Every structure is written in C-alpha cells, then in structure tokens.
Chain A
Amino acid sequence: MSDARDPTQFDPVVPNTGEEYEPLEVFPEDEGFDLRPGADSCYKCSTCDTNCPVAEVDDDFPGPKFQGPEQWRLKQTDDDYEIDPSISECSNCLRCDTSCPSGVNLAQMHNTARGEYVDNQVSKFSVKYVRNRILANYRTSAYFASMVPRTANFFMNFGPVRWAMEKVMHIPSEREFPEFATQTFRQWWAERGGAKVHSEDKKIAYFHGCYSNYNTPEVAKALVRIYEYFGYEVMVPEQKCSGTPMFANGMLDDARRHAETNVENLTAAIEDGADIVASCTSCSMALRNEYPELFDIDGIDDLAAHTYDAIEYLRIHTDVRQELEQAEISGELADEFAYHAPCHARNQGLERQAIELFRNLDGVSVEDVGDSCSGISGTYGWKSEKYEKSMEIGSEMFEHMEESEGTTGMTECPTCASQMEHGTGYDIRHPLELIEAALIK
C-alpha cells in the first residue's frame, strides 16, 4: 500500500504572508526581530540582484538575494554559521529593498546581518573598524569642526593632512571634505529667536540632521522660510544623528543610542501637535523605515507614522504645486538643473517629486539624469578600498549629468551631492532652495 498522503487530508501552508501570517516555528527561537516571513516570501525572481549597483561592477559580490533571504536561512540551520564578509561590500543603497516585488524586507535583513558581522567577527582594534566608527559618527567630528570651521576647512583639505589620513586611516585623498559653515543652522535659529510664525494647528518639527546643520545651513533655512510662508510653526527639537551612517557600518549600538534621543524628543513634538519633516532623504528613511525595523523603543512606531520628507509633506498639505505653477524664478537659480534621485528617496517613492514639481515652473528646467546610483552611499565612497568601486558605480550618473542640458546639479541627499560634485565639478543645489527662490522674494 502506498504511503502517500490521502489527498483529502492535503493541508497546504498558506502561501504568502499578509499581516495575519504566523510562521511555523521550525527554526530555533531568535531574540531579534523575526525575519522569517521575509525569507519565506522570496520566490527567487532575482529582481533585487538586477537592481544592485555593487553586483553590477563587482562579480565577487554575491548580491542581495544571497545577503538577505539565503544567508538568513543558512544562519538558522547551522549554529556555527558566520556572516559572509561580503556583507561589508554592500553599500546600503537599499535598491534591493525598493524593488522587491514580494515585499521582502531586505533593508532589515542587511542591517541585521551587518550588525552581527561587525559585533562578532570584526576586531575592534583594526584600523578599518576605527576608521568606520569615525566615519559613522560624522556628527561628532562635525560638532568639533564646526567650533573652528575655518581652521577645520583648511586642515581637512590640506595636502599633507590628507596624505596622512590616506596612509593611516585609509580615507581616499581624492575626495574633498565638505566645507563647514561658519554659522551652523542651530546657531542661526537661536540668533533669529526661533520660530517667527506661531500656529495652533499647523506645526512641524524639523529633523535637520547633521549635514544641513553643519555644512549646508542654507537648505535648512530655506525649509524654515518655506514652511513659515505656508503658515506653519516650525519647531527644531534637540536631535542627534538619524543613524544612517551607523546602520551602513554595522554599528547598531551607536545608532540605537542616537535613536533613543531622537525618538524621545520627536515624539514629544508629535504630542504637541507637530508632524516631523526632514530635508535629507536618508534621515527621513531612517526615522520612518529603519527605526521600527531595528529597534524597539517606546513611541518609535508613532514617530515612523508621523515622519515625512519635507517636500512630500508640502505636496500633501499645501498648495505648493499650484503656487509653483504660477511662480517664476529669476536670478542665480534661474538655471538648468541635472537632477539625480537619491536611492533612499527612491525607497520612499519620492524619486520623481522634484521633476514633477518643477515641470511647469517658469525660469528653470530640471532634467532627470536617470535611475543609476551615485555610488557614494554615505560613508561607502569614503573608504580607500571602496573608492574605485564607488566611482565606477557613479560613472553612469556622471555621464548622464554631462549629457544633460544643465551644468548645475540637484538632489536631496547631501552625500549624493558631494559625489555629483566630485564627479562633474558641478555646483549642486537642493530642491528646497529652488522652492524658496520661486515663492519667497
């Protein structure tokens, strides 16, 4: 007699996840977040692999399908399994996560695996670890540099200093350090006396992040003026780094420390009736996507649900589109722009908002330079051993920028901006600066 199962007793497992999905516990219990539904949803279509900018230039890199679902499964079945060192070749652009047709949470998988790799398999005394820790904690360096901005600007791009940094720290001497502003955004905000518009029902709390505070306060000021123009009361809570560079370097403990401060102060602002907006698309992605995936902090889900990109929020809550259609730009910003959508903007579905918003704005033209990655991915391109790869990934964007009409670049991401400038020599502006120039005389 056959021992095949009686077909009337056939009991298939529910095929795909959905919210009520409860996985069978066949693997030992894990204390972290449960990544199984994601691993199970992967049907190996390899869409992620075709979107990976690193795999396109480095055939030793096994790609996101391996780094995510496949490695997770290996980890469950083999107690001695060590995270494959190739995880540190992943640039954390998260295009795999953006593209997956099955909604597999590749960002969470990569961040978790990278954290585990750095915690357990990387020597805390190695030069690379120390260097990565310094790069990941950019806020700390920027904090000290901004106390003496002119001196810092001189020394950070001073030949002999950079030679020494290359030799000792493996920081590529080809790159130019971003300039520190002589007055930080927060200093400006304090000097100005804080908010000039007060409102009971229209409030936003601005997460400016490190870069627009220390390096590009003009972006932060533009944001403040635009929101006040639309009648919003702007709040600027105390804040630390969003954590993006720390996730990318596997330093989850550092990221968590910063996240705790951010969640506490930003949720307090939410209780006061504010929504959170960020001008850097990696910061907004960290607060809305990565925080709830990686940390369990009181209020973290509430923060995620109330966080927006600054322009996205304007599109939903104000007449910015209609006003821009009637506006005109003259002066310095009446220009042709080559726009690059940052990968982390893409992850939030924001890759076309600047193109769309400025389509009918008189006095400017904004051209999309295509869907390639800039290649810098925050701190990735700031490592000597990754510099060439970073530039090879970026080469497609550089070419498209050069083919486009404009000779000024535009993007929301500060590190993409530095790569765009590095590869083409163009001046790079933020879309908020253009909105300010159009609406506020």
Chain B
Amino acid sequence: MSLAVQTSRLTGVSEMAIESDVLVIGGGLAGLSSAISAAREGADVRLVTYKQSTLRQASGLIDVLGYTPNGEGPLTDPYDAIPELPEEHPYRIVGEDTVRDAMSMFDAVVDTYRGGHTDTNALLPTYGGTVKPTARYPDGAAAGLASDDRDLLLVGFEAMPDFDAPHVAAHLEAAGVPFDVRGETIQFPGDLMDDAKVTRYAKLLENNGPVEVRGRERGARDALVERLNPLIENEQRIGLPAVLGDADAAGVRAALEAELGTEVFEVPATPPSLPGVRLEDRLFEALDEVGGNFESGNPVVSFDGQDRVETVYVDKQDARIPFSAEQYVLATGGLVGKGVESDREHVYEPIFDCHVAHSEDRYDWFDEDVFGDHPFAGFGVDPDPELRPLDGSGSPEFENLRAAGSVLGGYDFAAEKSGSGVSIATGYHAGRIAAQEAQ
C-alpha cells in the first residue's frame, strides 16, 4: 500500500450488516407503531419496508372495534367488548390496558386526529352512505359526525364517480340519521378529465391553482367556492370528497370555510385515499422526529439464525444487503399486504416461515356465502403473550421475533372493524417489549 494517501485507522471488514437495536419489517400502521413505540423507549430503531403499505388504501379512520365477531353492533364502547372476545384475539392477548396505552401513544403522535376524549365510538358517514363506528377520525372529517343533528349538504364531482353524493345522502337518510341530508353533483372547475387523480384535485385546491372557467383563468379553490355557494340552503356543514389538499389539508379546509360561511368536511375515502396518505406521511415524520431510521423499496427475503434471528437480508436485484438487530418485529401485513401468502396447498408466512394454522383442505379456507364467515380472514401467525409467533407445538419460533398487525391471526378486521386498533395495539406492544429486551 502506498503511503501517498491517507487511510483509515480501522481495519476493514469484508461485509458488515447494517445494525440497530430493533429492526421492524413493514411500513404500515403496525410497523410504524412498533418503530415509534420502540424509539420512544430509547432504542435505536430501523424500519425496512418493501414499497408502500396498504395504509394508503385505508380510509384514514382509526377503528378499535366496531362489531363483535358474532356481528353484534355497532358497538358503543369497544373496550367493553374486549373481555368477551375469543381468547386468541390479539386484543385478548395484549390486554385492554395495552390497547388503551397504545391509543394514547397514537393520540400523542398524531395531533391531527380526534376522538381521544372518550371511549365511545364515533359514527361517521362513508362513501357508500353507510355509518361507520370508529374510535379516531381526522380533523377534516369531524364536521361530518352522524351524531351531530345539524343539517348536511353533500356535494360530489361529476368526474369522480366513487363519491355519488345524492346516493350517499339517500343511504344516510334511510339509515335514519338525525338530520336532513341532501346530495348534489357539480362539475369541478376546469372540467378535469374523467380519470384525473385525487392528487390533482388536492394540488389545485391547495395552491388555488389556475383552471379555465368559461374562457377565463381562475383559482380552482375560488371557482369551487362560487359553485358551492348557490347550493347551500340552510345547511351549516358541507361534505366533499376527500381531496381537500394533501400536505396542507387544514389550510384548504379553513379557506373554504371562510368563504362559504359553513363548516366543511371530507367524507372518508375509498382507495386511493388521501386521508390514508396523510396519516402515513405523519407517522413517518413522527418516526423521524424520535430518531428512527427507515428505508423502503426492497423486500426482506431471507434470514440467518436458529433459535434467534441473527441477520435478515434485503434483496436488491440479487444483491443481498444484510441487516442485523437484537430484536425484530414482523409487521408485513396480511393476505392483501402479502405478509401472509398462499398457494394451492399451503398458507404461509414468507420471510421466516412462521407457522400459520390452516386446514389441509383448501375448500375449508372459505365460506360459500360471499359475506360469510371466511376462515381465511383470520389466517395469520398465533403469538404468545409477548407477541412472539408460535410454532406448531406452541413454542416461540424465535426468541427475538415478535409480530404485529394483520400478519397476526385470530381476528377478522374487515368484519369487526378492528384493523387499525389491532395494528396500533400490537405494534405498540411488540415495539415496546423489543426495545426493553434490546437494552
């Protein structure tokens, strides 16, 4: 080696894993909740996620429990129902107090949400015109509460068929809401093409961006106000599709409210959902604030270790990048998020091959009734009280691997309306224990 260049004092190592105390695999609500809770405990945390999560496809509402597994509900108080849930339900495993603590963490981290003042479920109208029980809702949806008796005007846009305001109004009326509700459909100023993206509407409204209205250039938000004003009879609140801004939704809403003289709210959306995107953005920002590291874009595909997970490998076009940690959290999602996969013979967890209980006969995986009680909805890993996935004989698969969110089995989030709550509660619990164990 020549002396002409300065070299490192340390001797080189051929390959070193990227290290942290706690490594969280998965960047949805459960992964982010685990990473944030572990970082709040003081651990050095890293989150790795393959692409973007299903949080973007979610309404942005945070449900704890809307219905019991037997279909009773809507429940007034989700916490009252927890002791009655089946033993294998994630809420029973972590316990009611943990669910409450986890929701408090959520409230502390996400200050743009409401509902934390009470245990009772709020009722919010949806794009389908149903009324949904939920525990937390964004500021922007607050004026739409179905328990509020002020009359309501819903306005949809012609080029956005997902939200059909007159139809939603009729459904709400049929559901017996305690107020008068009307639905109107207008053309969004500027005559956007039929397939314009929600982000296009949001950007135009946020920047009051230029659109052409009858041959003249106008600010989109100003022009929208002009179209909304004549529709208002005596309603004190107007519901619009959830496209009112992206980064500065509060600013867009405030500007509309000032001009219209009524309260304005967004009806929680179908995918792709800006309320879901905003929540995801806020949670990543919060993780950054507590000093957590994260990276996305490439999948964890394999690992080293027997009783303990030693190292996991992220695949980048066949280059394997090693990551190691004291403790790991598996928050890769369920059947939609691909944390649980299936082929014709098996249902399996693809990274660590954790045991997923399921019938050998695949015809037992589903119910013949479309809206029936499908066993597949509950597929996932079964954990011990510390949320460590158990093998077929009931022992932890690995001493330092915990699972959170929809990769867990034992509950049907779609039927119960418990998806967000389970993700937050189990994420919080897994992240907290992982951080304590790592230190």
Interface of A with B (CB < 8 Å)?
A: 7-8, 10, 12, 14-16, 18, 45-47, 49-52, 55-60, 62-63, 66, 98-103, 196-199, 201-202, 225, 228-231, 288-289, 292, 301, 304-308, 312, 315-319, 322-323, 346-353, 356, 368, 396, 439-441
Contact = CB atoms under 8 A, between A and B. Distances in A.
16 contacts: A14-B343, A16-B341, A45-B271, A47-B56, A50-B197, A59-B190, A63-B195, A304-B319, A306-B319, A307-B317, A312-B321, A316-B15, A317-B16, A348-B297, A349-B48, A368-B288
Contact of A304 (B271, B272, B317): B317
A375 B319 CA distance: 29
A195 to B, nearest CB: 9
Contacts of B319: 288, 304-308
Contact of B51 (A18, A52, A56, A99): A99
A293 to B, nearest CB: 9
Contacts of A225: 5
Interface residues of B, number: 62
Contacts, number: 173
Interface stretch (B6-14, B221-229, B403-411): B6-14
Given A99-B51, A356-B293, A56 B317 contact: no
A307 B318 CA distance: 10
Contacts of A322: 10
B317 A350 contact: no
B8 A101 contact: no
A99 B316 contact: no
Given A14-B344, A63-B195, A349-B296, A197 B1 contact: yes
B4 A316 contact: no
A343 to B, nearest CB: 11
A244 to B, nearest CB: 16
B198 to A, nearest CB: 7
Contacts of B12: 202, 230-231, 317-319
Contact of A352 (B50, B295, B321, B338): B295
B154 to A, nearest CB: 23
A57 B203 contact: yes
B247 to A, nearest CB: 8
B296 A15 contact: no
B277 interface: yes
Given A197-B1, A288-B317, A55 B297 contact: no
Interface string B169-198: 000000000000000000000101101111
A309 to B, nearest CB: 10
A319 B7 CA distance: 12
A47 B40 CA distance: 30
Contacts of B192: 59
Contacts of B299: 103
A14 B345 CA distance: 10
B7 A101 contact: no
A396 to B, nearest CB: 8
Given A47-B272, A231-B8, A323-B8, 5 more contacts: A16-B341, A18-B343, A50-B56, A348-B297, A349-B295
B295 A99 contact: no
**A98, A101, A352 — which one has the most chain B CB atoms within 10 A of its CB?**
A101
A199 B6 CA distance: 15
Given A50-B197, A316-B321, A350-B295, A101 B51 contact: yes
Q: Which 9 A-B pairs have the closest CB atoms?
A: A349-B297, A305-B318, A46-B272, A59-B196, A56-B199, A288-B317, A99-B52, A55-B197, A50-B272
B283 to A, nearest CB: 13
A327 B198 CA distance: 46
Interface of B: 1-2, 4-8, 10, 12-18, 48, 50-54, 56-57, 190, 192-193, 195-200, 202-203, 247, 271-272, 274, 277, 288, 293-299, 314, 316-319, 321-322, 337-338, 341-344, 363, 368
Contacts of B197: 46, 49-50, 52, 55-56, 59, 63
Nearest to A11: B344
Nearest to A53: B199
Contacts of A49: 197-199, 272
B295 A50 contact: no
Given A49-B272, A304-B317, A317-B12, A347 B297 contact: yes
A229 B298 contact: no
Contact of A47 (B52, B297, B342): B52
B7 A198 contact: no
Contacts of B322: 316
Contacts of A66: 195
B297 A101 contact: no
Contacts of B48: 349
B343 A50 contact: no
**B14, B195, B271, B341 — which one has the most chain A CB atoms within 10 A of its CB?**
B195
Nearest to A58: B200
A62 B195 contact: yes
Contact of B297 (A7, A62, A346): A346
A440 B297 CA distance: 32
A144 to B, nearest CB: 33
Nearest to A293: B317
A16 B342 CA distance: 9
A352 B293 contact: yes
Given A100-B51, A317-B16, A352-B294, A60 B199 contact: no
B297 A98 contact: yes
Contacts of B18: 315-316
A349 B300 CA distance: 12
A230 B52 CA distance: 35
A332 to B, nearest CB: 19
Contacts of A305: 317-319
A352 B76 CA distance: 43
Nearest to B4: A196
Contact of A50 (B15, B199, B294, B344): B199
B325 to A, nearest CB: 15
B10 A319 contact: yes
Nearest to A368: B288
B126 to A, nearest CB: 18
B348 to A, nearest CB: 11
A103 B8 contact: no
B57 A229 contact: no
**B4, B56, B319 — which one has the most chain A CB atoms within 10 A of its CB?**
B319
B25 to A, nearest CB: 13
B10 A55 contact: no
Contact of B14 (A201, A307, A348, A356): A201
B5 A229 contact: yes
B296 to A, nearest CB: 6
A100 B203 CA distance: 22
Nearest to B333: A101
A366 to B, nearest CB: 12
A231 B199 contact: no
Contacts of B15: 316-317
B199 to A, nearest CB: 4
Contacts of B57: 45, 47
A319 B297 contact: no
A15 B340 CA distance: 13
A8 B361 CA distance: 12
A372 to B, nearest CB: 9
Given A56-B197, A347-B297, A349-B296, A197 B7 contact: yes
Contacts of B294: 352
Nearest to B350: A18
**A7, A47, A196, A288 — which one has the most chain B CB atoms within 10 A of its CB?**
A47
Nearest to B293: A356
A63 B363 CA distance: 39
Given A16-B341, A307-B319, A318 B51 contact: no
